[in-house]
Structure 1
Amino acid sequence: MEYLQIAFRTIFYYFFINITFRIMGKREIGELGLFDLVVFLMIAELVAISIEELEEPIMYIILPIIILIFLQIILAKLSLRFKKIRFFFDGRASLFISKGKINLKELKRQKYNLDDLMMQARQKEVRTLSEIDYAVLETDGTLSVFKKSDQNKKVYPLAIIQDGEIMLDNLKGAKISKLWVLKELEKRNICLKDVFYGYLEKNNLKIIKRKDLL
């Protein structure tokens, strides 16, 4: 009888967790933010407890899982609306190399050493750091590398404007000021709040307006 209970709970949780993850949204494991990872680990631990402790009613496990799902969905929606919440849970991308120069301060802030940087660079088929124009540590922990030989090397890899807000932390690497960005918008009679995304290409500010979105 005990084996049947284990088999039943295993099959039940298999389908239940699949449905749960679909509700939470499709993301690859490598793309999970810190909060998503914590939720997934807690769900896995709760399921393991339920299979091991057969005397515990299934509802004792399903209830906290449902609470975690709703919490994750609510925070995901808030993160889409409020950048501060998104940055708090997911963090920000870090510019490790800008125009071929290594940012030691940013490496130390992210607790990265040269060996870590070289290892991830080699995984991108980069032999030496001198080949790199820009290197960005993404919020999921992966390193994005842009080589000097890339055709699009004139495009700065971090956002200058995002959701109607100037990304001040990204201006330093691009060697531009907030005043310069505001003047560029003023020349084009564009209001900052109307800008969905702005980036730098060949020292020119490129704009995607909210009204241009589908």
Structure 2
Amino acid sequence: MFTGFVRTVILYLVLIVGIRLMGKRQVGELEPSELVLSLVIADLAAVPMQDFGIPLLAGVIPILTLLSLTMILSVLTMKHVGFRALLCGRPSVIIRRGKLDQGEMRRNRLTVDELMEELRCQGYPDPSVVWYAILETNGQLSVLPKAQEQPPTLAQLGQNPTESGLPLVLISDGHVLEHNLTARGVDRNWLDKEVRRQGCSDPSAVFLMTLDETGGVYLSPKQEE
């Protein structure tokens, strides 16, 4: 039992390190080659976890080999456009200048129902308002509406708003993040006063507190369980 536990933990940690090495983009958006890699690695890790007669290295070495190969392919796709197109494919323009390209739909085996579903997910239930729709290599549909359907920007309305910048979390579930206090140029005295001004007794009573670059504060107190 203990041996199985140790083997499982080791393989799990190897997979976590491997996924981290693949980068954040791959975790959220898998290219075809990355999807295949994930499926193969999952299968390689499952066998040594269940069969104690198989040496642990028999599972670890193939996983590390595949991860190394993936890193090499990632570098090649970054440096060579042609290789990237060969490995990952090219985006397909499904709607071009307001007109549906049925040939591209057939080549990508995209049905009308799937297209309508993707458009609805993007907030465009009516395809007549779409100027461009591009099927990306990761399977997501990027939609560019017609000019008259796009919401006006503040610049178009003649407004010049001030950039608030990126809010930093100062308190997370009652814990003060000292490095973010330093990054925003404030100290604990300021924090304690602001927390009391917002109606909380002390930082431990705060669930979330953020501060942006213009001094804007957001505070959410803890709720009673």
User: Normalising by the residue count of structure 2, what TM-score does the alignment of the two structures yield?
Assistant: 0.63
Structure 2, unmatched stretches of 5+, are 153-225
Q: 2:49 aligns with which of 48, 51, 69?
A: 51
CA contact (8 A) 2:14 2:60 kept: no
**Mapping of residues 6-45 of structure 1, within 5 Å:** 6-45=4-43
Identical-residue share of aligned pairs (%) = 33
CA contact (8 A) 2:26 2:34 kept: no
**Mapping of residues 97-116 of structure 1, within 5 Å:** 97-116=95-114
Give the counterpart letter for 2:150 in structure 1.
D
CA contact (8 A) 1:121 1:129 kept: yes
Give the counterpart letter for 1:52 in structure 2.
Q
CA distance in 2, matches of 1:29, 1:150: 31
CA distance in 1, matches of 2:28, 2:126: 25
CA contact (8 A) 1:100 1:132 kept: yes
Q: 2:135 — aligned with what?
A: 137
Q: 2:74 — aligned with what?
A: 76
Give the counterpart letter for 2:70 in structure 1.
Q
**Mapping of residues 116-195 of structure 1, within 5 Å:** 116-148=114-146, 149-150=149-150
Structure 1, unmatched stretches of 5+, are 153-214
Q: 1:177 — aligned with what?
A: none
CA contact (8 A) 1:33 1:89 kept: no
Task: Tell me the CA shift for residue 30 of structure 1.
Answer: 4.6
CA contact (8 A) 2:11 2:60 kept: no
Give the counterpart letter for 1:140 in structure 2.
N
| Deviation larger for 24-33 or 121-130 | 24-33
CA distance in 2, matches of 1:29, 1:118: 26
CA contact (8 A) 1:30 1:140 kept: no
Task: Tell me the CA shift for residue 141 of structure 1.
Answer: 0.3
Q: Which of these two proteins has the greater Rg computed from alpha carbons?
A: 2
Give the counterpart letter for 1:67 in structure 2.
T
Q: 1:5 — aligned with what?
A: 3
What SS does structure 2 have at the residue aligned with 1:61?
helix
CA distance in 1, matches of 2:143, 2:87: 24
Give the counterpart letter for 1:11 in structure 2.
V
Query: What is the alpha-carbon root mean square deviation over aligned residues?
Result: 1.6
Q: 1:64 — aligned with what?
A: 62
CA contact (8 A) 2:97 2:131 kept: yes
What SS does structure 1 have at the residue aligned with 2:137?
coil
Q: Does 1:89 align with 2:71?
A: no
CA contact (8 A) 2:98 2:128 kept: yes
